[in-house]
Amino acid sequence: MQKRAEIKVYGRVQKAGFRDFIDEIAFNLNLNGFVKNLDDGAVQVVCEGDETAISDLLKKINVTQYPIRVENIDVTYKKPTGKYKTFEIIRDEDLTTATYERMDVAARYIREMNSNLCQKMDSIGGKIDILGGKMDSLGGKMDLLGGKIDVLGGKIDSLGEKIEVFGGKVDSFGGKIDSLGNKIDLARVEITSEIRISRESLRSHLDNRISTIERELAFIKSKVIS
């Protein structure tokens, strides 16, 4: 619903950049009308627009933010006229007063920028601290991993030494097997030699016995024939 609001704001509201503050809010809320200083020290706002937007304007201008301090707000609602096409600041004071007020507005913006910047720097600092903590934690994990790798390397070296010792024992065992094989070969040669000698001795003995038997048979034969 469209409405017209006639507002009077009391407090420390003149020569503090308050009109520029209201002008910015009205612009963002798409309200039309004007704002001006009154002779009694109050600030007058006349605006037309959506009822919700006017309600938001009243909430936003009720501030205590150096150098502005709002103490009271009076509002009268009427039917909109549609005569305002924009929102403007009416400056009817002398040029010097207007210049000082514009300087106050600039100072307020600078303070707000510094405050926002400090908050962002604090936020960035907090994030850097968190990142630093994560880096420290990561460094600790890397050190722990390095220690585990060193332990694993030591175990691998120990295993390698055990493998070398086992290899030496295997080589020693192989040498013993080779030695045993040599002894077996030597024994086989000796046994073969002994068997050959025994066979030759047996053959010689049999030959002698056969010759003796043949001589005895011949003698017997000669006696029988005679």
Q: Identify whether 28 is a catalytic site residue.
A: no
Taking the C-alpha atoms of residue 14 and residue 35, their distance in angstroms, rounded to an integer, is: 12
Task: Catalytic residue, from 4, 19, 32, 108: name it.
Answer: 19
HSE value, Cβ hemisphere, 13 Å, CA-based, for 11: 18
Neighbours of 34 (CB within 10 A): 18
Catalytic residue from among 37, 114, 196, 208 = 37
Is 19 catalytic? The answer is: yes
User: Which residues have a catalytic role annotated?
Assistant: 19, 37
